[in-house]
Amino acid sequence: MALSKSNLNVGDQHSEQIVDNLTRTQIIQYAGASGDYNPLHTDEIFTTEIAGYPTVFAHGMLTMGMTGKMLTNYVGDGRLTKYGVRFVAQVWPGDSLTATATVEAIREEDGVSVVDLAVSTVNQDGTEVVKGSATARIDG
Amino acid sequence: MATEHFPIEAGHIMLFARSVGDANPIYYDANAAADTEPGHIIPPPTFVQSSAQFTEGYNLRPVIGEPWFGSGKEPTGIQRDSSGGGGGGTGFHAEQHYEYHAPIQPGDVLKAVDMPGNSWEREGRRGGTLKFNESITEYYNQDGVLVVTARSVGVQTSRVVE
């Protein structure tokens, strides 16, 4: 189900909880699927004793991937033309994250209707962990 | 780091979608996907990151028979200098951007072409001096069609981020 130009307004928002109580196992699943086996994400002993962090933490790309789920649920499958983020705070085991897309513009690009979205993901304390933007094709 | 041969496989897409907690059937059920607008299984938006599995010499994948910097008998299996991630400072992913040009589906074979981007430095509040490095990767399919452009920014901190 794609978005339609006639039903969209600047300022419209779509939010989803993208993870509730992030587990170390999910971080390990992401390491295995993505191929990023950095021990900072999966190896508690290395991360605390060598790297000096309180515990392992999520790959930024895991948060971007989970945030992408909110985006594709909103704009529809295969509709994204751009998606980018900055990683602004670390995500830890036990975090619960909510991702939000906000309509910034509805416009034409090369004869196709598109929507520009601001993207923001926050943790359970309201701290922003990912900030970005996306563009998707919409029905004219 | 070149990725000459990145085969797009349905099982890999399914595992990746599970890992980001996405139950959308278009990522694992060919029959359900046939009824969608794309008409076939597609990968999630950040899937091309997993081309790392197929990148020669990728430094965050253990090499068979060689020491690994994660823990075993000892907290780390290798001695690293402080600039390499084993000491106070660490490399992090600062930004990631994708542009999607054409569909990807199981059976495709992508080739990634890496290009250097800009480098810059600034003083950070949490991690001392921050050194940023940008890289751009273009993914082409077996027909030579540009399917995704990825722009990544990495940052190296001079001490542990608090």
Q: Is A37–B22 a contact, with Cβ atoms under 8 angstroms apart?
A: no
Rounded CA-CA distance A75/A81 in Å is: 11
CA distance A102 to A58: 25
**Amino acid residing at B49:** Q
Q: How far apart are CA A10 and CA B60, in angstroms?
A: 42
Distance from the Cα of residue B138 to its chain's centroid: 13
Distances (CA, A) of B117 to A85, B47, B92, B98, B127: 17, 22, 17, 15, 23
The answer to whether residue A129 neighbours chain B at the CB level (below 8 Å) is no
Q: How does the average pLDDT of chain B come out, rounded?
A: 90
pLDDT digits (tens, 9 = 90+) for B15-24: 999 999 999 9
Residue B85: the pLDDT is: 42
Asked whether residue B18 is assigned to any structural domain, the reply reads: yes
Size of interface A-B (CB pairs under 8 A): 153
Q: How far apart are CA B69 and CA B87, in angstroms?
A: 11
Q: Which helix (H) or strand (E) segment is A75 a member of? A: helix A60-75
What pLDDT was estimated at residue B109?
A: 98
Chain A closest-CA separation from residue B5 CA (Å): 15
| Distance from C-alpha of B45 to C-alpha of A66, rounded to nearest angstrom | 10
Residue B162 lies in a domain: no
Q: Does A116 touch chain B (CB under 8 A)?
A: no
Q: What is the pLDDT of residues A43-79, one digit of tens each?
A: 999 999 999 999 999 999 999 999 999 999 999 999 9
pLDDT tens digit sequence for A2-13: 899 999 999 999
- Residues from chain B contacting residue A32 (CB–CB below 8 Å): 15, 19
pLDDT over threshold 80, residue A1:
no
B120 in a structural domain: yes
Other beta carbons less than 10 A from residue A41's beta carbon: 22
How far does the CA of residue A29 sit from the closest CA of chain B (Å)? 5
Contact A90 B88 (CB under 8 A): no
Question: How many structural domains is chain B composed of?
Answer: 1
In a domain, B40, yes or no: yes
pLDDT, one tens digit per residue, over B115-151 is 989 999 998 876 688 999 999 999 999 999 999 999 9
Which backbone phi and psi does B120 adopt, to 5 degrees? -155, 165
Q: What is the ipTM of this complex?
A: 0.97
**Is A62 within 8 Å of chain B by CB?**
yes
Q: Which pLDDT tens digit goes with each residue over B31-65?
A: 999 999 999 999 999 999 999 999 999 999 999 99
* Strand ranges, E, within A4-62: 13-19
pLDDT tens track for A77-117: 999 999 999 999 999 999 999 999 999 999 999 999 999 99
A17-48 pLDDT, tens digit each:
999 999 999 999 999 999 999 999 999 999 99
Instruction: Return the CATH number at B64.
Output: 3.10.129.10
Closest A-chain CA to B73 = A45
What was the pLDDT predicted at B2? 78
**Segment (H or E) for A85:** strand A80-87
Map out the domains of chain A with their CATH numbers: 5-137 (3.10.129.10)
Nearest to A37 among B37, B62, B88 (CB): B62
How much is the pLDDT for B83?
A: 43
Please tell me whether residue A63 adopts helix, strand or coil conformation.
helix
| pLDDT score for B160 | 61
| Predicted pLDDT at B127 | 62
Mean pLDDT of all residues in A122-136: 98
Query: For chain B, where are the E strands, in sequence order?
Result: 3-7, 91-100, 109-123, 129-140, 146-157
Q: What is the pLDDT of residues A111-127, one digit of tens each?
A: 999 999 999 999 999 99
pLDDT at B92: 85
Domain with B33 in it: 3-157
Are the CB atoms for A34 and A6 separated by under 8 Å?
Answer: no
pLDDT digits (tens, 9 = 90+) for B76-111: 988 655 444 443 457 789 999 999 999 999 999 999
Alpha-carbon separation of residue B161 from A54, A88, A93, B124 (angstroms): 11, 12, 17, 10
Domain assignment present for B64: yes
- B21 to chain A nearest CA, in Å? 7
The rounded distance, in Å, linking the Cα atoms of A139 and A118 is: 19
Chain B, nearest residue to A86 by Cα: B95
Q: Is A138 in CB contact (< 8 Å) with chain B?
A: no
Q: Is residue B51 part of a domain?
A: yes
